[in-house]
């Protein structure tokens, strides 16, 4: 099958920059319309980029890139012949299957040999293709043709995508619990964040231009190039959303790509999800994180070493070593209990997390914004050229986000 995707590498970014310069600055008189204004701006930005970006043709296939069209045809014929023989049991059908299997083996060997030869010949002029080949050897991202999950079998890309969606959605928890009120004894409060255009521009310019676009179709490279123009527009829009206590719905969706962990590659439960978010969402939350982290840092327990600047497993082990050695000197017994959070990020209760933030003094519109940021999210699984129907995210902090680790730390901080 063939498909078409935008070729952002050939986007006329100079023309995008010029067209953005002609846009009027947003004028938001009613905070209830803040999300509407942001959505319109995001759609307009996406439209401008789309009109200046050509499309390129791609081959959508679940076969390795070195397979020739003839080999793909033979593999499909071989599978059909094997299925036919299993059904009929006829000698002729068995002979047909054996013949096709021999042809597939011979042609596969020949195709791979020619592929390696092309890689070797391209090294003097295109070293990237060689390192791409090496990377693929280390991290094979292709999925098997047939995959299973708890007895269910999928043998085509849409079915495989659907099974992955079923598996990834099973980790979320919709349990309803009584939410207590928390008071951690802190007299200060934090209810408002204001962002400057300079802050927004700095974050836009820090984007990795090699990252792909998220669900909104806006690539980081173009945001980075147009940062001087976009910063003023986005600072106005972001501040209005913060004042309204709203995280826009158009930034709450994400693409999920399955990444193999270990075990059998045909078993869907042996894969973990990697979430690709919109670049604008990551810019917005990174700006909020800077100020929220500064406020919450004094609350974080000294024994917390994960997801904190300047701390790691090394600092954790050094602290543990110091405690053990001191206990030995004092002739004290040391008992250790090791625990592992299962699906920790995915099972955080949103209402309980919001209540804990309130207990640390986060309130007002900022607390409303965090609650809006957590709730109403959706994920779309992408694999082998297919996409699933959107999955509702019922619990957890967003994976692949900037704010997620800090929110998780706060959730477990009082345990």
Domain ranges for the chain, please list them: 13-53+167-412, 63-141
Burial label, 103 (beta-carbon count in 10 A; 0-12, 13-18, 19+): middle
CB distance 220 to 11 below 8 Å: no
Please list, in sequence order, all residues whose beta carbon lies within 8 angstroms of the beta carbon of residue 112, skipping any fewer than 6 positions away: 66
Burial label, 57 (beta-carbon count in 10 A; 0-12, 13-18, 19+): exposed
Handedness of CA 324, 330, 331, 334 (dihedral sign): negative
Question: Which contiguous run of DSSP H or E holds residue 169?
Answer: helix 157-169
Question: Which contiguous run of DSSP H or E holds residue 273?
Answer: strand 271-277
pLDDT per residue rounded down to tens, the chain (415 residues): 667 889 999 999 999 999 999 999 999 989 999 999 999 999 999 999 999 999 988 776 778 888 998 999 999 999 999 999 999 999 999 999 999 999 999 999 999 999 999 988 888 887 877 887 777 776 666 788 789 999 999 988 889 999 999 999 998 987 788 899 898 877 789 999 999 999 999 999 999 998 989 999 999 999 999 999 999 999 999 999 999 999 999 999 999 999 888 899 899 999 999 999 999 999 999 999 999 999 999 999 988 998 888 889 999 999 999 999 999 999 999 999 988 887 888 999 999 999 999 999 999 999 999 999 999 999 999 987 789 999 999 999 998 899 999 999 999 998 8
DSSP 5-29: EE-GGG--HHHHHHHHHTSPPP--S
The closest of 404, 204, 365 to 284, measured between CA atoms, is 204
The closest of 296, 249, 313 to 403, measured between CA atoms, is 296
pTM of full prediction above 0.95: no
CB distance 6 to 50 below 8 Å: yes
């Amino acid at each position: 099958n063939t498909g078409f995707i935008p070729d952002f590498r050939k986007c006329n970014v100079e023309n995008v920059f010029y067209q953005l310069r002609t846009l009027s600055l947003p004028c938001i008189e009613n905070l209830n319309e803040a999300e509407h204004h942001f959505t319109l701006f995001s759609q307009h930005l996406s439209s401008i980029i789309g009109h200046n970006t050509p499309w390129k043709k791609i081959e959508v296939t679940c076969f390795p890139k070195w397979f020739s069209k003839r080999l793909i045809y033979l593999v499909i014929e071989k599978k059909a012949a094997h299925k036919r023989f299993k059904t009929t049991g006829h000698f002729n059908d068995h002979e047909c299957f054996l013949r096709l299997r021999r042809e597939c083996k011979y042609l596969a060997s020949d195709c791979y040999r020619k592929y390696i030869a092309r890689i070797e010949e391209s090294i003097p002029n295109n070293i990237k293709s060689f390192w791409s080949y090496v990377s693929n050897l280390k991290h094979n991202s292709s999925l098997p043709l047939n995959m299973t999950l708890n007895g269910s079998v999928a043998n085509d890309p849409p079915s495989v995508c659907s099974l992955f969606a079923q598996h990834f959605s099973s980790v979320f928890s919709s349990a309803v619990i009584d939410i207590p009120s928390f008071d951690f004894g802190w007299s200060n409060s934090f209810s408002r964040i204001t962002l400057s255009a300079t802050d927004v521009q700095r974050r836009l310019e820090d984007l990795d231009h090699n990252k792909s676009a998220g669900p909104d179709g806006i690539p980081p490279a173009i945001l980075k190039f147009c940062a001087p123009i976009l910063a003023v527009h986005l600072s106005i829009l972001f501040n209005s959303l913060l004042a309204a206590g709203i995280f826009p719905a158009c930034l709450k969706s994400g693409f999920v790509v399955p990444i193999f962990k270990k075990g059998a590659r045909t078993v869907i439960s042996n894969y973990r999800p990697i979430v690709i978010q919109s670049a604008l969402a990551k810019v917005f939350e990174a700006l909020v994180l800077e100020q929220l982290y500064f406020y919450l840092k004094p609350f974080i327990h000294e024994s917390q070493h994960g997801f904190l600047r300047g701390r790691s497993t090394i600092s954790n082990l050094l602290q543990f070593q110091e405690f053990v050695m001191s206990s030995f000197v004092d002739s004290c017994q040391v008992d250790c209990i090791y625990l592992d959070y299962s699906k920790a990020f995915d099972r955080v209760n949103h209402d309980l997390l919001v209540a804990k933030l309130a207990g640390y003094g986060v309130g007002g519109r900022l607390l409303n914004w965090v609650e809006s940021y957590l709730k109403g999210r959706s994920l779309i699984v992408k694999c082998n050229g297919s996409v699933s129907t959107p999955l509702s995210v019922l619990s957890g902090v967003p994976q692949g986000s900037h704010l997620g680790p800090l929110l998780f730390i706060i959730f477990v901080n009082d345990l």
